[in-house]
Structure 1
């Protein structure tokens, strides 16, 4: 198999983070349906077991872990590789959100989100890389976000974390270009998962205001998790470097390149309610 050939996932293992729900769960189902063994990773043990019961085939495993813990991730990767000697792909879907303006957020709140979205991604990627390099062809897929293309007001920690994941992904792709491992980034726009509705908000934000902003953001989502999961699996199998999910992602990608200093003038109006974390409710 050449470096750029598509992956044959049958009998190989895909490690998927954030696999207890949302896009991660959909990726797991679709990988298993193609004959892959799936290692499901999440903090939510109950959710992992529920997804595992739905998977086709055998040879799947569940791993409950906090990806921000270095020691826990190293131990988990040892566990995965002892059960799955042919780890061919890693798909990082784990992440969270944080609402609030810079004057509402604490440093601890911003560091928490960076730990989850950035360092959790870096942690498992670094720990699993030796196993991936043993395969004649392997691929790493990192979920970034439309907010890794353009940074809106009211989402500073989320945008920071996603721009950082984008930078990590692109640098890693270049670092591994002479190896058997390829690296790709996924840029979803509005996918109908619970990330924004169940995400965190700054303690200084009125809970009713946060709920209104989250609902306004969620109302803009158009893509079903299953459709997103299918595109992520295809991007992984085809070893794509860059994949947009949703019309809005493609538009923002073009907009941010055509008007890198002025794209917010276009985005401000449709996102007005979604980024408002100060106006009282009622």
Structure 2
């Protein structure tokens, strides 16, 4: 096996590919000649991603297929590998990127909203992994890439559901990597910090919150989202090529990961001061 993973003429499945990090990853992989099976719950966003790739690369654009998908829908996830196989001869890369956010504390969050987030951010990722592992095992050099978060390393207040899911992604990925280490399937878990995506605007608000409260929280959160998705995608794709097990994206993720390791109980006070 080569020192670096060769991406040209391989095929990548990307969830949440209609915007943000997912769309940026599609661009970076297309530039490297990787074929793409793009999945998202919003078909018009998927089409926009495909069109922007074509506009950028022209005749050099690789084959791209679009798949409308809700990762919380078990039947849709189970049917996706066959749909992808009909359009592509292989699957070498699965990037589980789809995710949502939920505002409010645990007591402000309804059970239905908490379960909604877990179904997408954790269980959807697990379902996608289970569905595509047989195809990944058929590849001579495959990789599973799971997008966790900075909040899979630290757990701030107001992020109980999101942190529970992203810590779950981290644990699942690390254990699976050990189980697969003698196979041709490698595992990478990614912890992005503040990436400038639309996740804050699309976050589900807690029940009973006023419009003013929701807007205030969105603006506070958006101040922390600084890195352009294109830069985050370049870091992630480089890590895939280098077969890295863990990727910290952004100086905030790197600094806070270190702080948490040094002060696993006392780090919240430092995080609070940094946020101010």
Same fold by TM-score, threshold 0.5 exceeded? yes
1:178 aligns with 2:166: no
Residue aligning to 2:129: 125
Partner of residue 147 from structure 1, selected from 148, 151, 155? 151
Gaps in structure 1 of 5+ consecutive residues:
273-282
Once the two structures are TM-superposed, the CA of residue 269 in structure 1 deviates from its matched residue by 3.0
Tell me the equivalent position of 2:43.
45
Alignment of 1:238-257 (within 5 A): 238-257=242-261
Quote the Cα distance in structure 2 between the aligned partners of 1:101 and 1:199.
13
The 2-side partners of 1:252 and 1:180 are apart by 32
Aligned position for 1:277: none
CA offset digits 1:203-225 (Å, max 9, x no partner): 13223212211211111222111
Shift of 1:84: 1.4
How many pairs does the alignment contain?
A: 270
Cα shift readout 1:118-162 (whole Å, capped 9, x = no counterpart): 011111111011111111111111111000000000111011110
**Contact residue 33 and residue 62 of structure 2 kept, 8 A:** no
CA positional deviation for 1:93: 1.4
CA deviation string 1:145-199 (max 9, x = no partner):
0000000001110111100111111111111011000001111111000101221
Structure 1 runs of 4+ off > 2 angstroms? 204-207, 269-272
1:27 aligns with 2:25: yes
- Map of 1:208 onto structure 2: 212
RMSD across aligned positions (CA):
1.2
Unaligned segments of structure 2, at least 5 residues: none
From 76, 93, 96, give the equivalent of 1:92. 96
Q: Which has the higher helix share?
A: 2
Q: Contact 1:217/1:271 (CA < 8 Å) preserved in 2?
A: no
Q: Is the 8 A contact 2:14 2:22 kept in 1?
A: yes
Q: TM-score, normalised on structure 1?
A: 0.93
